Structure formats: structure tokens, C-alpha cells
Structure 1
């Protein structure tokens, strides 16, 4: 998290941001109430209106996926590390290829409301333990990611107020968390979809306009922009070469590879992204929606790269690092130089709205898994009424929101990016192997699913606990302690193969599923059933 002694944004920008943010919140909350499910139907609450066009679905997917880290953290990484930061942005964009080519169609064809429904169709035995393990993984991932968003809201507030007091931190987290609960608990998928579309349109417009302003300053000449960035980076031509951040040694390179694996593979298994893949009415709509999402995410990543280079070219790396050593303030400093208080307020408001949209999707995904998989299928054994399950889903959304707020207040000093990347690593290590094996391996069994889910989760968490993220590093949670024996900050390079290995091992050592179960599942995954 960013810790500054003084704010980097002036008072006028703060006032404009507050007015814009409150206006967006009021409008979106009112719309969420209007579009909220009017009937006690879990399908409407979980998946919303399935008649949306591919463009609107693509915008919602883009809004659900891109967090404030893309706007603030990624641009700052590019501003301070140049080539390595651009390489990091590529992973964010390429991740959607994994979704389009491997996961989207068969998941949509075989799923109903959650991944648990897909696994129940695929596996004939031990469905309740598998759903329980899946709900545990989903809750862990979504809560970690939710806490990252709430901690990020405090980091963003720091850009305006400097180091916030405990009361200011608590107020910021509670306000953001309460609005998120209303979106998820009352609005359901329709309410969350609206704020995600609004956020996506604002994000795409904001970063594109600012990137155009950067290019205009350098006469639309990329070479001039790159040369100015290199000159003001303090690193010369090394700024445009690999290795400035991730080339210090073998450990640094492995850490970067581990992080990229977690991002590229984890996207396809994030619970809120998988819920979004189940929402389109047909496979054609889904396919076009994902293509739209890929294009929009790539556009945002391209613009973020230009903003990062522009910040270095206009301001210089030394100025950016002096205001914020992590670089999160780079885009706001650049906006103030290019467009004054108005542009700064627009991008700041955009960052807060981005936090809201992602947090709403996460809360809804967690609530859906707890209500449908855990309560409806494990506890009530499929006998819960729709009214009963819907009430549990709304209550679960409120509980998860409160839990996220409490954890954010306790761990406000944690690095929000680290929490988010851990969530990606768990998704790639536990849920992705289970999903891939279920869709494409005939021999996969319930025991393999349990081992993959529980083993991938446990392996990821243990490796992070004994990594420099928690101890033995200046930026660690406990910098004065030293119990880190795992050298990497992201466990993906070890935990992802471990998740696949455990799924394979559990399946090989257990009795095969009935032959007809997979054959029926395979037909459904190819043809679909609405």
C-alpha cells in the first residue's frame, strides 16, 4: 500500500472527485434498485437479464476484470521500470486468450449458476464434498481479492489526504464496503452488471483520452515519447531494455514468470469471471462477448502503457518515486500536468468507481457460491426453495462484505497488489486444474477434484506464508521476523503444477467415474442445453 506523508493531489481536485464520485454512486445505486430482481427467482439474481447484447456483455466482462491496479499500479510500474512494466501489462491482456480458447464455451454449455453445477454434472460421486471444497476455494479467492480492493481504496485516498488517520481509513473502507453490499445484496447480477458497464465505459474513455493527450504532446511520434521517457528515467537506454525490475537475478526472473503464470492462468478460474461467462444466453453471444472483452482489455492495457511512458517522459522517474515509491501516483501526477484539476478528478473518480465495480462482482460471486453450492446443495441437499436460497444469497453478500471490511481494516498495511496476485495464484492452482480436468479428461474423478481443490489451495497459502511477502523483507507484513524459506513472492510456478499433479494423482488412484457420465457431459459441453 502507498504510504505518503503528504497528498499528491490539490484540494480542488479532491472536491471535484468527491462530487463526481457521489454523483456516480447515487445514479448507479438508484439504477441498481430499479433493475434489481423483482421476483424470487435465483436465476435472475445469479445471472440477471440474459438478453444483453454481446457488446454490453463484453463491457461487463471488461468492467468485472480490470481493477484499479491496472489504472494506478500498472501505469506506475511502467513509469518506474519501463520495458518490464510493459511486459507485465501484456500478461493482463493475453490472459483473455486462455478464456476464449479453452474455458468459455464448454463452461457455459455445462454450467448453470456456478462451477459447482458443472462439477455435479461431470462427477457422479462425492458431489457434496466437492461442492464444499469448491465453496471454500471460492470464498478464499473472493475475500482476498475483495480485501485487496478495499485496501486499495485507502491507498487511493492517501493520494488526496496524505497518511490517513485510523478514523479516516475506517470511514473510507466502511463507505466503499457498504455501497458494494447494496450493489450485490439488493441489485444482484443486474445491479452489478450496470455498475460494471458504467465503470468499463468510464475507464476506456478516461485512459484513451489521456493517452491521446500524451501522444499529442509528443507530436504523435512514438520514438519521441520513448526517447523522452528514457532520458527522464535516470536509467538511459536500460529503461527500454528487459531486466530493470525482473532481471536482478535468477530468483527475480522466476518470480516474474510465476506472477505471469498466475495472471494468465488464474483469470480463467476467477469465480466472478466464471459467473460472467455463464450469463450470455447462447454460445454465439458468449463468443462475441469474450472477443469484445479481449479487445477492450487490450485497448486499456495499451493506453496504460502509453500513460506510464508519458508519466516518465513528462515528469521523470525521480519525481514520481519521490511522491510515491510504488508509482501508484504516476497517472494522477500526469493527469494534473496535462489537464489540471478537472482531468485529475476524472481519473481519480474513475479509480474509485473501478474499485466499486470489481468488489461488487466479487461479493456476488462469493454469495452465489455460498448460497447455491454450500447451502442449497450441501446443507439442504437440493431441497431449498428459490425464495429460501435467494434470502441466503442476500444475507451471504452482506456477511462477506462485512468480513471484507473487517479484514481490510486489520490488514490495511498489506500490499493490495500482493493480495490480488495471491487470489490469482489460488484460482490457477486449485480451481483451474479441476475445471480443465473436468472438461477435457475422461479419467478425472471426484477424489481427483478434492485433491486438486484442497491441495492447490493449501500449497498456495503455505508457500506465501513462508515467503518474503510475510517476513524477511522490508515491505513484508512482519519485516522484523524471518521465517521465509520460499524465495518467491508469488507461488504460482510451484503451486499450479502441484494442483494439476494432485488432480491427476487422485484420479489415477481412485475408481473411475461411470463411462456414461462423461459421455453425457461431453455431448453437453459441445452442444449445450438451455
Structure 2
């Protein structure tokens, strides 16, 4: 839980932040209404404008992934832990490279609207059972990540006004949650795409401006920046050496590897990111879009490293940790140091917009899974009309929005990073093995898919429940209890191999798929066809 005795910004900065945020929300909501699907066509609601340029698609993909945690959390991690924080940022870029080289093209070629469509084509005999299992995993990942964003909105507000009371917390969650629900329920993919593009442009521009101000302060001398950051850390050379955060012992190092494994592999299976892969009509557009996304995400991660080092150099590590022990206030303190109240307000508004955009993408992915996979294919067995499916998608978005707001208020005090990393671990342990096996292993079967999906989900959740995240440490959810027999905070190093192993076992010792199914699927996945 984030607690502060003082806030980052003064009254003027808070008012300006509110005006900027409100302006962006009004413009994007109005545009979402204008660009919303005008006909009852599920393709338009799920995929939006399929003829966008690679740059716009790449910006939307970048916007789907980069959250407020990147702007605030990653920057703060670099500010407080130096080398270890920079190493953490590298995992994100590696993750996008894997998406580019391994997943994007065959997934787009094999699917239609959702990942469930691709698996149904690969495992036709038990496709409804597989769709149901996939929908359960998708809802688990999206709900956890969405609740993390809403809880993060409270934590972000805390940076300005100090510890909020129950009424303030409730109002913040309801306002943010309602806006996100409108984006997803009314705007669909066109509305979500617009805010993602706006958010990505704002984020790239914002971090560029602050990074330029930091580098200009040190006359564009990287050595000078590193030397000042080392001095500002109060830790000497230890600041730029490995082990400051993840070097306390073997368990700490293994935990860091487990976290990086979940991030690198989990990104390739996040439902809201994967949904973007189906949007481009042509394969070459998708390829170019992912290249743009890799470049943009890499650039933002690079500038986040500069901002973290700049915060330590100009503000000081002790000041940052005194304001927020997790370092989330680092970039706001840096903005105040460089540009006063105005720059602080701009960066703060950017953080709120970033949070909104990611939440909108998550809610749309979850609603699409409910409407298309659960209702359209499992319950109605493919006989639902487009109007019915579209109505269910919008109702699902509203219901998910309300439930997420309730969970966010109940989860106040829970570390948002824990919720997000659990979502990554589930995606990497349950969805990724199923996806990889489906695309590249001819012996994969429906039983293997079910074991991988349900087994990866259950393993991830159980290991977190019996880890220091929930009990046995002062920072645990239940600090006075002690039932943590699993020593790591992130389960990826165990749950990811478990997901792959269960998928292999289920396929080896279960009934085989019909002859020729994988060959037909492989031709479509690897050769593909541009869709009209």
C-alpha cells in the first residue's frame, strides 16, 4: 500500500492535472462515440478499422501494452535500484521480439476475432470445451490486470493528495471504471484504438520531452548523468552494479529470473495484446505494425531508464523513497524539479490517460471473449446472430466494469505490481503453452489444451496463495499469518514449465486428433491469406 505524509504536487498542479485529464477524456469519449460501430457487425466491434497504416497499428499495440506501471513503476525501480532496474526494463523489449518472430504472423493467419477461433480451427472436435477453458483463463488475466489498473488509479491519486479516504477512493475507482466501460461497451475496437493511439503519441512525446530536459541538464553527457545518479543514490558504485534489489541471496536471484520469465513469455499471450494481431487485413501490415510496436516500446523503455537515473541524480534516492518506498513518485518529483507545477501536471495527466487506455483494451478483450467464445460458440453453438452477440459483448463490458470496480475497492492495499505479475504468470503458464503447441506441434490434442489451460491457471494461483505475497512478511496481504511454503513471489519459473508439461502429457496419453487437421491448420498458419 502506498502511504505518504506529503503529496508531490501543490493545489495549482492538481487543478491543472484535472483540467488536462478532463480535456483528453472528453475528446476521446466524443471521438469514441463518433467512431463506434454504426452497424450490428461483430467484425467491426472486435477488430475496428482493418485498413489502418502500420504506424497507427503499431501505436495501438504500443498503447495496449505500456501502462502507468511503465511510466511510474519502471522509472521508480531504476531510480531506487539502478542496474537491477535497467535490467528489468530489458525484459520488455525481449518479450516484444518474441512476439514479432514467433507468434504474430501465424496467430493472425489462423484466427478470426479471438484466440479461441484459432484454437477451434486447430482442435475442432472439442472446440467448445477448449473455448470455455480459454475464456476462463482470459477472464482471469484481464480481470487481474484491470483491477491492478483501477487500484493504481487510487495510488496515483495518492501522489497528489496523500492518503485518500474511503469516499475519495470510491469516487476515483467509479469515475475511472465508468469511463473505461464506456470506451469498451460503446466504442468497441474503433474507440479503444483511438484512445490507444492518442495515449501512445502522448506517452512517447511526454517521455521524450522529459528525457531531453534531463540530458540537457547534463550537457548530453551520459557519463555525467551516471556519475550524478551514483552520487545521488548515496550507495556509491553499488548503485550501478547488479544485486541491489535482486541480489540478497539465491532466492532473490531466482525470483528475479522467475519474474523476467513471466514478463517475456506472458506478453506473448496477453489477451488484449493478442487481439490486436487479428486486426490488420494483410500479413505485411501486421509484420510492419509489430516492428513499429517493438521500436516504440523499446524507445519508451530506454527513456524510462534515463528518467529513473535523472530522478536519482537530480532529486536523490532518499527523497524518492521517503515519498514512496516503491519509487512511483520518482518521475513526478523529477518533472517538478525540471519544469515545476506545469510539467508535473502534464506528466500526471499522462499517467492517468495511460492507465485509462490499458484498462479499456483489457475490458474489450474480456468482453469479446465472453460474447464470442462463451456466448456465441459455447452456449449458442455458433447459431447466435451478430446483433445478439454484439449486445452480449456490450452487456458483458458493463458487468465486467462493475465487478472490476468492486474488486478494486476490496483490493485496496494490495500491491498493484503483484496483481499485474500474477496476470502475466497465468498468461505465460496457461495460454502460451496452448498457443505454442497449437501452432507448432502436430501431436497436440484437445486434452493437452485443457490440461495446459486449467493446470497452468491453477498452478499459478496456488503458488501465489502459498507465497510471501499473501503471508509471512510485513508486506504480505496477511502479514500476521504464515502459510507460505513457496519461497518465490512470482511463480513463473515453476508454473510455466508445469503448463508446458501438462500440455505434453495430456497430448501423449490422450486420444489423437483426426488425421489431416494439423496439416490444414499449418498451411493456413504459416502461409496465410490476406482477408477480405
Q: TM-score, structure 1 length as denominator?
A: 0.99
Give the aligned partner of residue 256 of structure 1.
256
Are the equivalent residues in 1 in contact too, given 2:77–2:326 (CA < 8 A)? yes
Q: Report which stretch shifted further, 89-98 or 60-69.
A: 89-98
Matched with 1:518 is: 518
Match of 1:181 in 2: 181
> Hey, which bits of structure 1, 4+ residues long, moved more than 2 A?
none
Matched residue, 1:276: 276
Number of the residue aligned with 1:152:
152
Whole-angstrom CA distance in 1 between matches of 2:401 and 2:5: 30
- What does residue 462 of structure 1 align with? 462
Determine the C-alpha separation between the residues in 1 that align with 2:120 and 2:96: 26
CA RMSD across the alignment:
0.6
> What does residue 309 of structure 1 align with?
309
In structure 2, C-alpha distance between the alignment counterparts of 1:316 and 1:437, rounded to whole Å: 48
Distance 2:508 2:120 in 1: 20
| Cα distance in 2 between the residues matched to 1:176 and 1:227 | 41
Counterpart Cα distance in 1 of 2:410 and 2:477: 12
Indicate yes or no: 2:372 matched with 1:380. no
For structure 2, list consecutive stretches of 5 or more residues without a partner in the other structure: none
Deviation for aligned residue 1:511:
1.7
Q: Which moved more, 1:483-492 or 1:4-13?
A: 4-13
1:415 paired to 2:415:
yes
Map of 1:56 onto structure 2 = 56
Residue 159 of structure 1: CA displacement?
Answer: 0.5
SS in structure 2 at match of 1:485: coil
Q: 323-332 vs 123-132, which deviates more?
A: 123-132
CA contact (8 A) 1:442 1:518 kept: yes
- 1:436-515 maps to which residues of 2 (within 5 A)? 436-515=436-515
Report the equivalent of 1:23: 23
Tell me the equivalent position of 1:404.
404
Q: In structure 1, what is the equivalent of residue 342 of structure 2?
A: 342
Map of 2:104 onto structure 1:
104
Matches within 5 A, 1:126-141: 126-141=126-141
Partner of residue 266, structure 1:
266
Contact kept? 1:433, 1:503, Cα under 8 Å = yes
1:124 Cα shift?
A: 2.4
Deviation of the 1:23 alpha carbon: 0.2
For 1:472 and 1:444, the matched residues in 2 are separated by 40
Question: Aligned to 2:516, what secondary structure does the other structure show?
Answer: helix
Residue pair 2:183, 2:192 contacting (<8 A) in 1 also: yes
Per the alignment, residue 170 of structure 1 pairs with 170
Where does residue 204 of structure 1 map in the other structure? 204
SS of the counterpart of 2:326?
Answer: coil
Query: Secondary structure of the residue that 1:469 maps to in structure 2?
Result: coil
Task: Show the counterpart of 2:67.
Answer: 67
Q: Which segments of 5 or more consecutive residues in structure 1 lack a partner in the other structure?
A: none
Aligned to 1:237: 237
Q: How many residues align?
A: 530
CA displacement at 1:2 relative to structure 2:
1.7
Indicate the residue corresponding to 2:246 in structure 1. 246
Distance 2:10 2:63 in 1: 28
Paired with 1:526 and 1:313, the residues of 2 have a C-alpha distance of 49
Q: Is the CA contact (8 Å cut-off) linking 2:5 and 2:323 kept in structure 1? A: no
Question: Partner of 2:292 in structure 1?
Answer: 292
* Other structure's SS at 2:238 match: helix
The match for 1:9 is 9
| 2:232 pairs with 1:227 | no
Alignment partner of 1:278: what SS? Answer: coil
Alignment check: 8 A CA contact 1:124 1:514 kept: no
**C-alpha contact (below 8 Å) 1:2/1:328 kept by paired residues:** no
What are the Cα deviations for residues 379-407 of structure 1, in whole angstroms up to 9, with x where unaligned?
00000000000000000001111111000
Q: Give distance in 2, aligned partners of 1:202 and 1:303.
A: 14
The alpha-carbon deviation at position 354 of structure 1 amounts to 0.4
